[in-house]
Amino acid sequence: MSIDGILNVNKPEDKTSFSIVALLRRLSEEKHVGHTGTLDPIATGVLPICIGQATRVVQFLADSNKTYLAQIELGIATDTFDREGKITHRKDPSSITVTQIENALKNFQGSIQQSPPIYSAVKYQGRRLYELARSGIQVKTKPRRVKITSNELVNYELPILTIKVECSKGTYIRSLANDLGQYLGCGAHIRNLTRIQCGPFLIEDSLPLSEIECIFKQGILDKFLYPVDTPLLSWNAVIVDETNELAIKNGCSISLDEENPAKTKYCRAYSSDGRFLAILHYVLDSNLWHPDKVFSIG
């Protein structure tokens, strides 16, 4: 019997996101397993893993906002922007005050331009930046626009400060730490990083790997697996009759009685008996809804 759903994994330090996907693929014996946004090996916290048909909603969960707790050390900059890199700059940060940090953080809120670290999975001419950096090839990374909804100073005990950051897809907290260090004039890098939320998934509900392995051994995975539509629950939902259900399954566009005054791009479609059927995509010119992804769950 196929497994379709999402596991809220609490990623430990020194494990790659890919290695956790490989573990879940082995435990579940499902071919289709994927994560919803890479966490660096030193990072911990929420890593939703999509299994079976849930891999088809990865893009929507990956696009959701994330929240992090970042521990940043002032006074030392590194080439990787974290504690594992080579030191590139040192300066005594003892004169940096809480007020200076809070004022500096205000410059890194809203829609900002951010350059990804040279040691990152971003591609340049078909190759990962970290591959080029390890080969000694210098590439000037292009800044890209990201959105930082909020960044709050949680604690400051010289030279370590902790901030809570809510941000959009594509934001590098390592880059934020490095940029903050440059702004303060003393340099900085990430000491520890924990993702505490990814879309609807919270760290207090996440499962450590040891517990996940026990869950599989005991055959009680269904008690901990989130439904495929969990990342989409903020969207509008429609219930369709049997005629429209058949049309959706055949890939045909349908007309809905519900108006779409806000011209929302997507909605969720369910059968009359509550089964999740499809992600419908609104076609503006025709005023019809087209099945973007169709599911066979339940």
The proportion of the chain whose per-residue pLDDT surpasses 90, expressed as a percent, equals 80
What pLDDT shows up at residue 36? Answer: 84
**Domains in the chain with CATH codes:** 5-64+200-223 (3.30.2350.10), 66-193 (3.30.2350.10), 235-294 (2.30.130.10)
Question: How much is the pLDDT for 143?
Answer: 86
Residue 49 Cα distances to 15, 145, 193, 247, 274, angstroms: 14, 27, 19, 31, 24
Active site residues: 40
Q: Report the pLDDT value the prediction gives residue 13, as an integer from 0 to 100.
A: 96
User: What does the alpha-carbon distance between residue 96 and residue 212 come to, in Å, rounded to a whole number?
Assistant: 43
Distance from C-alpha of 44 to C-alpha of 37, rounded to nearest angstrom: 13
Task: Give CA–CA dist 17/26, Å, rounded.
Answer: 14
DSSP states of the chain as a string? ----EEEEEEEPTT--HHHHHHHHHHHHT-S-EEESS---TT-EEEEEEEEGGGGGGHHHHHTS-EEEEEEEEETEEETTSBTTS-EEEE---TT--HHHHHHHHGGG-EEEEEPPPSSSS-EETTEEHHHHHHTT----PPPEEEEEEEEEEEEEETTEEEEEEEE-TT--HHHHHHHHHHHHTS-EEEEEEEEEEETTEEGGG-B-HHHHHHHHHHT-GGGTPBPTTGGGTTS-EEE--HHHHHHHHTT--B--SS--TT--SEEEEE-TTS-EEEEEEEETTTTEEEEEEE----
Residues β-bridged to residue 193: 70
Mean pLDDT of the chain: 92
Specify which residues 34 forms β-bridges with: 50
Across the range 240-245, mean pLDDT stands at 95
Decide if pLDDT at 41 tops 80.
yes
Give the bridge partners for 164, in sequence order. Answer: 69, 152
The pLDDT assigned to 277 comes to 97
Contact by Cβ (8 Å): 178, 189: yes
- pTM beyond 0.85: yes
Q: What is the pLDDT of residues 196-229, one digit of tens each?
A: 999 999 999 999 999 999 999 999 999 999 999 9
Which pair of structure tokens corresponds to residue 130?
């970290």
Confidence at residue 229, expressed as pLDDT on a 0 to 100 scale: 97
Return d(Cα 295, Cα 285) in angstroms, integer: 26
pLDDT tens per residue, range 132-186: 667 676 777 788 999 999 999 999 999 999 999 999 999 999 999 999 999 999 9
